[in-house]
Every structure is written in structure tokens, then in C-alpha cells.
A and B are shown apart, each in its own frame.
Chain A
Amino acid sequence: MKRHVAKKLVAVALASAMAMTAAGCGGDDAAVNNSSAESTPASSSAAASSEAPASSEAASSEAPAEIAKPDTISWWTHDGLNEENGAEQWFAEFEKFTGIHLDHQFIPNNEYYDKLKLAFASHEVPEVFDLNGANLALYASQGAIKDLTPMLKSSGLWDKVDPAIWDAIAIDGKVYAVPKEVPSAACTYVRGDWLEQLNMEAPKTYDEFLEMIRRFKAEIPECEIGLTAPGVKSPQNLPEFYQGAQYGFYRENGEWKDGFAQENMAAAMQRMQDAYKEGLLDMEIITNTTSTCRDAWYEGKVGVFNYWSGKWGGTLQERLEANNEGAIALAIEPIDGATYSFATLSGLCISAEVSDEKAEQIFKYFFEYMHDGGEGQLLFQSGVEGVHWEQDGENVKPLPNLADPSAVTTSVWITPWLSITPMELTDKKVAQADAVVNSLAITDAVAVQTPITPVSETLNKITSDLELEKADILAKVVMGEMTVEQGVAAYAEVADELNVQKVLDELNGK
């Protein structure tokens, strides 16, 4: 009898354990949902609202009567503040200031777009999420996101932001996303200390640029890699070689063109092939990732590296100098013919599955709040006072990062010096390091906006195959396995087979 009871107990225990294990598979998501799905009780919401600072009250009093404050907004992010660096305190602070509960999920960056597409497929889309330029037009064309233009134009935000930003992010005159910040631009960094050692000036022409790398490689023993980059497909990473050529589709004088088929792309391929053959480009450029390039730069064995300006300019200098005393990451102006470009604008969108009424609420109490030039913007830029920053005279002084006390938290969701609206609080200035300011000054002066990636029915269908073929041709040309002429001919064949002309016709409305 006892044996039977024991058997039953073992069976139940094992069954429960297995069920718990199975449930554990979705543990992370469940945990996130549980923590975030707790709706704010009306009373606490009201109490929080009543505690909101004056600026919030003022904003509320200016709001049209029909736009009510939402209780909850669901929001997915894949960058910015993470759990280890005080995200919980930030969301509590946001709720305290606004009375709105943010139902937030952090998605790892490499899974973000996969999960977002799956969320659409299963109709479990967050109300707010961000899209980069490569996806914005696609989602807009599929009717997946709200047209924000009417809300934007009737709000104060429209006039507060540089019109060039609205132009750059608009698709057929409609704005579907509000940028969190101005996009970063990339510029070329060279080893300033090596230039000094060789008594050289920063290069101004392509020939001088190549000569500089040659001398780095020949005369600086530490220089193992002349120029490094993560792959060869991005004109932004290799502006000296592309010199205005485009890898993808681009718009010129109102007409869309296939960049890969243009003559200047053939010239760019020739330049890359020659430089690779001569050993001026990183031998492993095809298999490099961004992090391997950065690591090689930090180690001090790279002469030239093109990367983001601003905050990254500071990081490239700090980490390089930490390993190589006296080393200088010098941001240089673009050489003749080269173009520095901003990253494609990305922005926050509202799902088309959200009702018009809720969309207006989100726009008013979330989008406008984060760009209010005051309390909201400060919260989105610098985080929570006492957790992420403290007052230092008239400056906001970043505090040590909670996860890594050796670094400080300079921004949480919006980089202070990249905000699209000016900070109106005069005692909340942000000091910047020289390396940040220097690289920013260059890119702000010369970088050009990258238009939103186009979309057409045929392009959607062939994108995957077209990208594969282009990547293969370019890699083989650069590595010398194919001549430029062979590469051009191979692409013409691919373009014909995949009907790229139809894509161009669709993009140009023919």
C-alpha cells in the first residue's frame, strides 16, 4: 500500500516538475509581462498625477479636453537603458511624473526585428516601438504604423524641430515616426600621433590618404592594419573609397536609381580592389564585425577607422589611450570626393492596431513629453536624479553606471547632444569631452542625410536574393577573385534576372 502511495507521489512530483520546466521555457517573457502588466490602479494614477510637477500640470492644462491621459502604454525597446543600469527606477520615475504606467519590454538588439515581425504576425504588437530607416518605409507601405502627420502638425513639436528632420523622415510627405534623436554620423579617425611621428598633415586627397596608410604600414612598427572596416558594403564605413557611390538604391534629382549599377560604383570597386591588393585594407575586412574592428583599434594596431562621431569619438580616444599612452584618435575632415553621412533616421512609431483615440493620447503624453525641452526631456536624456545624474552647478553631472562603475551614464534613451528639441532648462547643461566635440563638429558641418530606404512590391520580393548576389560580387571583386568588369557584367545579369528595372519603375511611379 505504502509502495502505491509512494509511486503516486513520485508520479505527481515528476509531472509537476516537468510542467514547471516547460513553463520555465517562457520564463523570461512571463517575468517581463508580469512585472510590466500590473496596471496602475486609478487611485494611484490619480495620486501620481496630483504629485506631478508643475510642467506636467501646465502641459495637461494646454491639452485639448478630448485627449485623455492613458493609464498604460506598451513600449518595446532594443537599446538605451537596461535593467542592470536602473531601468526599474526610471520607469518608476516616469510613472511618478506622468501617472502613466509604461508596459515595457526590452528585446535584445539582434532579435528585435525578428520579434517585431512575429508580434505583427500574431497580433500582439506593442503600441509604441521604434523602426530604423531600412524598415520604416516597409512598415508604412504595409499600413502597419499610424500616420502621425495630423497629430504632429497640430502639436507644438512640429515647429520646435528642424524642418530638415521632418523632411528626411517623411515618406511621400507623411511622417510615420518621431525620431528620438538626430542620427549619428560617421567620420574617419586616423592615428594623430602617428601623423605627428611621420611629420604628416591630415590627408586632403585620395592619393594623400593612400600615401598616409602606406607610410603607417611601412614606417610605424605597431601598425599591423592600415585601414579596417566591418565589411565592404557600406559607403558610410568606407567614404574615401566609395566617394559618393551607393551600394543600394538612392534618389537623385527626384529619381530613384540603382547605385550598384552606376559607373561610380565600378570605380569604387576598383579603388577597393587595388587597396586590398596592396595590403592597405584590412586583410580580414570581409569577415570583420564592428566589434573586431573596434577591438583592433583599441589595441593600437590600426591606422584608420571610420566610426560614429560624438560619444563614440570620446570612447575611441579613451580606450585607445588606455592601451597606448599618448595615442590620438584624430577625426579628420572628409578628403576630396568623400562624403560623410548620417545614419538613416530612426524613430518611434505607433502601431496601426492602436485606436485613433489611443494614438492621440500616446502622441500627446509620451512623444511630446520626451521632447518637451524640460522635465520630460531631461528624464529621457539623463535619467533619474540621484540614480543616473546629479546637479553640478548649472550642469547635469552623470553618475557612475550602476552596472559598470568605471563608466558614467551619459544618456538613457536620448543622447543629450543629439536631441531634436533644445533643452530649455538653463541649469541642465551637459558638459562634453573634447574628443566628442571635435568629431561632432566635423560631421555636423559636412555630413549628409541618408534618405529612408525605399520600398516597392517587387523590391520586397527580391531583396533577399539581390542582397546576396551583390554581397557576393562585391566581396569577390574586392578580394581580386573577379575583375571589376566581370563584377559589373555579373551584376547586370543578376539585375536582369531579378527584374531590378521593375523595382525602379515602381519606385519612380512609372
Chain B
Amino acid sequence: MKSKNEKPTKYVPPKKNFRQKMIDIYHYRWFYLMFLPVFLSLLIFHYFPIYGIKYAFYDYTPFKEPTWVGWENFSYLFSSGRFWRAFRNTIELSSIKLVLGMVFSVGLALLIDEIRSVGFRKVTQTIVYIPHFISWVVVASIFTLFLSPQSGMVNAIITAFGHEPIYFLASDGWWRVVFYLLNLWKETGWGTIIYIAALAGVDQEMYEAAAIDGATHWQRVKYVSIPAISVTILTVFILNLAKVLNLFDSVFVLQNDSVIKSSDVIGTYVYRMGIVSADYGVSTASGLFKSVISVVLITIANHLNKKIKGEGILG
């Protein structure tokens, strides 16, 4: 009999030769058939386009044959203050968005977990998920109206209290606040799903034991719920860290001339260079740079996950 402190041994599958592997594939052939369309779509839409990264090393516009320029596009990028400004904006906007998103999602999940009526809980969950399904274009249009300094609801309240209206979307400082709030409004509900699932898995006996020990409601949350889902919180945080540079839609739809410098991120920089200037070489180079940084972040995330959970996200 194993003692309770003994570490579980990891299952190591027996090694198989090529013939045995083929037999396995044949055995599970219908599953492979099911997987085939997904595999093909991955190849066509995700892997084959990787071939295009070669244009990062070419002077390439859509109208003429590409010319090899080596590292020139990267040299142009790295010497451009605008590129580094976009990089800095991306890191700032994404990082704050990430932390706020995590804090509010966990908080909302804990609140939803406290709801005892199943019906009310389901309705609440459905309502908080809805904003996630609204496109950023629609969200931007709605909030532009709400935040209008002349006819918006928010400024109507501000002026009712005797203050001057605020042009939220055209002020550098306020624009960022609005950006974070809109992201919270849109994605917090969706972000709760995984935490609610994790909370559902917490052993109820722990709450009962805490109650018997005289723990207050808040103490049960603080000493039982949060520690119980802490590994989930960390895993989600690390996974999101890898996506920190993927910022485009939410910024692009809210941009305007007055805040264009403080809201220019790598995604919009790539768009401007590629679509506005038709300079596909520089645009691809900046996209490639973003991908390399993302790979580094994913590797770090994987390493951290290994340290925390004993196994990595990537295996």
C-alpha cells in the first residue's frame, strides 16, 4: 500500500515501433478522419501562410517582384521611434488590460459562486457573457454615443452635477481609461467561465469545516475559495501573457486623430505599414518581430507552468 505522501509515478506509455504505430492509426482511423478537415484547415490557413515571413527580408509591394534586402526592414523598424512607441503602447495597454481582466473576472466569478438560486445564477451568467459576443465595431459605436460630450448619457450626468463635459475619446488620459473599462465590460463575464468551473470543483467539505471552525463568509472566500483556484488563476494568467501582443480590433475601432500617438500599437502599426503604405516588407518584419516576442513569452509561460504544476502547457 502506498503512503499518502508518496509522489504518484507518471505513466510512461510503452514504446512502439513504426508498424505498431500504423496499426494504432488504422485502429483509430475514424477519429483521424474526423480530425482531417481541422488538420487541413490548420495547414492551409495557419501553416502555409508562414511561408510569407520571407517577405520580411524583401523590399516588397504588391505591384512588383520582391527584391532581397536582408535585414534592412528590421534595421528600419528598430531605428524608428514610432515602432518602439507602438511596442511600448502595446505592452502598457495589454499588461494593464490583462491584470484588470484577471482581477475582475476572479472577483465576478466569486460573486456568482455565492448565488444560491440556480435559476438566478444561470440568468446572471448568461447576462454577463453577452457582451463578449458583440463585435468591437458595435461596442465602439455604442460607447461613442454614451460618451459623447454633447449628447452622451455619461456627460449628461457629469454636467447635471455642475461639471464641464469631458471629451473622453479625444483625451489621451481618458482614452486609456475608456479602453480598459470597455475591455472589462466586454470580456469580464466571459473570463469568469473557467473560474466558475474551478470553484464548482472545490470540495464542499472544506467550506463546512471552515464554518464549523467559525470562519466568516469573507474568511471562507479568502482562505478556501481563492487558494483552491489559485493554480487555475495562475495558469490562465500565464496563458494570457503569451497573447499580450495581440492587440488590434479594440484599439483600431476606438482610435482617432487626437489620440493616435498614444494608441498606436504593433497591430495598428503593421496595418498602417501594410495597407496604408503598401510596404509589405516592413509590415511583415514588424509582424514577425511580434511573433518572435510572442514565442519567447509562450516559452517563459510554459517554463513557469512547469515550475508550478509540474508539467508544461506545451508538454
Contacts and interface: CB of A to CB of B under 8 A. Distances in A.
Interface in B141-155: 144, 148-151
A423 interface: no
A14 B34 contact: yes
**Interface majority SS (helix, strand, loop, mixed), chain B:** helix
A284 B165 CA distance: 12
A11 interface: yes
A11 B272 CA distance: 44
B291 interface: no
Interface string B63-79: 11000000000000000
A19 B44 CA distance: 13
B170 A461 contact: no
A485 to B, nearest CB: 19
Interface string A1-33: 000000110011011001101100000000000
Interface string A261-293: 000000000000000000000111011000000
Contacts of B151: 224
B257 A471 contact: yes
Given A22-B41, A472-B257, A11 B64 contact: no
A117 B61 CA distance: 9
B interface residue count range (under 10 / 10 to 19 / 20 to 34 / 35 or more):
35 or more
B230 interface: no
Nearest to A474: B257
Contacts of B148: 284
B219 interface: no
Contacts of B278: 117, 138, 460
Contact of B257 (A114, A460, A475): A475
B264 interface: yes
B119 interface: no
B280 A467 contact: no
Contacts of B258: 286-287, 472, 475-476, 479
A461 B59 CA distance: 11
B15 to A, nearest CB: 28
B113 interface: no
A120 B169 contact: no
A306 B61 CA distance: 36
Contact of A18 (B38, B169, B260, B273): B38
A15 B33 contact: yes
Contacts of A233: 257
Contacts of A464: 272-273, 276-277, 279
A225 interface: yes
B150 A139 contact: no
Contacts of A476: 258
A58 interface: no
Contact of A15 (B36, B144, B165, B280): B36
A479 B150 CA distance: 15
Contacts of A11: 30-31, 33-34
A468 interface: yes
Interface in A45-66: none
Interface in A451-495: 460-461, 463-465, 467-468, 471-472, 474-476, 479
Contacts of A42: none
Interface string B23-59: 0000000110110111011000000000000000000
A224 B261 contact: no
Nearest to B277: A464
A12 B33 contact: yes
A143 B63 contact: yes
Contact of A461 (B37, B256, B279): B279
A143 B64 contact: yes
B62 A118 contact: yes
A197 interface: no
A327 interface: no
A139 B260 CA distance: 28
A118 B278 CA distance: 10
A7 B280 contact: no
A164 interface: no
A286 B62 contact: no
A479 B171 CA distance: 10
B167 interface: yes
A231 interface: yes
A298 to B, nearest CB: 14
A142 B63 contact: yes
A467 B148 CA distance: 26
B62 A121 contact: yes
A49 B314 CA distance: 65
Nearest to A143: B63
Contacts of A19: 37
Q: Which of B41, B257, B277 lies at the interface centre, i.e. has the most chain A CB atoms within 10 A of its CB? A: B257
A472 B82 contact: no
Contacts of A143: 63-64
B63 A139 contact: yes
A472 B41 CA distance: 42
Interface in B102-126: none
B41 to A, nearest CB: 5
B283 to A, nearest CB: 10
B226 to A, nearest CB: 40
B285 to A, nearest CB: 13
A67 interface: no
A37 interface: no
Interface of B: 30-31, 33-34, 36-38, 40-41, 61-64, 80, 82, 144, 148-151, 165, 167, 169-170, 256-258, 260-261, 264, 272-273, 275-280
10 contacts: A7-B30, A18-B34, A18-B38, A113-B275, A286-B256, A286-B258, A464-B272, A464-B277, A471-B257, A479-B170
Given A11-B31, A286-B170, 19 more contacts: A8-B30, A11-B30, A12-B30, A18-B38, A121-B280, A283-B150, A283-B167, A284-B150, A287-B258, A460-B279, A463-B276, A463-B277, A464-B272, A468-B264, A468-B272, A475-B258, A475-B260, A476-B258, A479-B170
